[in-house]
Amino acid sequence: MKIFSYNVNGIRAAMKKGFIEWLKISSPDVLCLQEIKAMKDQIDVSSIEKLGYYHYWFSAEKKGYSGVAILSKKNPLNVSYGSGIDHMDLEGRIIRLDFEKLSIMSLYLPSGTNINRLQYKFKFMDEFRGYIDDLKLKYSNLVICGDYNICHQAIDIHDPVRNKTVSGFLPEERDWLNSFINSGFVDSFRFMNPRPNHYTWWSYRANARKNNKGWRIDYALVSESLKKNILKSFILSEVFHSDHCPVGLELKF
């Protein structure tokens, strides 16, 4: 099963840059999207349906902001829109598809762009952890893909020293992600790829992507129970529809 995750920074903008052509060629079984920045009725879903995908969208209440989606070649047994926690769901940050052998979530964790949003980010992280701890009691095989807006370790950011006081690499954020992973998940990319200089997001400024001055903030975390099923985990840094690039995971059952 080939699972991709991609913060597209606006699905309509990505479509104008060749997203559909890329989707046709890459052909994942499941594609988790974040930051779609659109309502479903604003999206040309016919081009997605022509490729054989079921599609499920969970937009933010605020137009042009946030939002997540999942495309799947297989019809899921169940679709869960949101977490049931109002403040999370107003921003369209969680959607989940349940299949026979696993459940796949698309997550868009908030960024801490200012002090108010940083405080909200910590609130979200705390309540999200509780939500997942409860969810694990019902669904033991979870894949949580998405933009976590946190670099886990120094190896995951191009300049750990200068960025140590910047949201996304704060000690408190990193401690949370470390604790979250250690609660029963595997960072599939690091499990398969211990090497440095692999990132998933680059600033549009100062030729950051060209110079590979990036951050690895997009993950495909899998339950420990699925560790034995990990065949491949990779970053598609050559894909250019967004300031992020897709991450990929292949599971063998």
First-last CA distance in the chain: 8
Angle between helices 171-182 and 115-136 (to 10 degrees): 10
For residue 69, list its beta bridge partners: 33, 57
Cα(106)–Cα(99) distance, rounded to whole angstroms? Answer: 14
Tell me if residue 180 falls in helix, strand or coil. Answer: helix
Of 44, 126, 134, 147, which is the active-site residue? 147
Q: For this structure, is 147 an active site residue?
A: yes
Exposed, middle or buried, 96 (CB in 10 Å: 0-12/13-18/19+)? buried
Tell me if residue 156 falls in helix, strand or coil. Answer: helix
Structure tokens at 183: 């609660």
Cα(83)–Cα(88) distance, rounded to whole angstroms? Answer: 7
Active site residues per annotation: 147
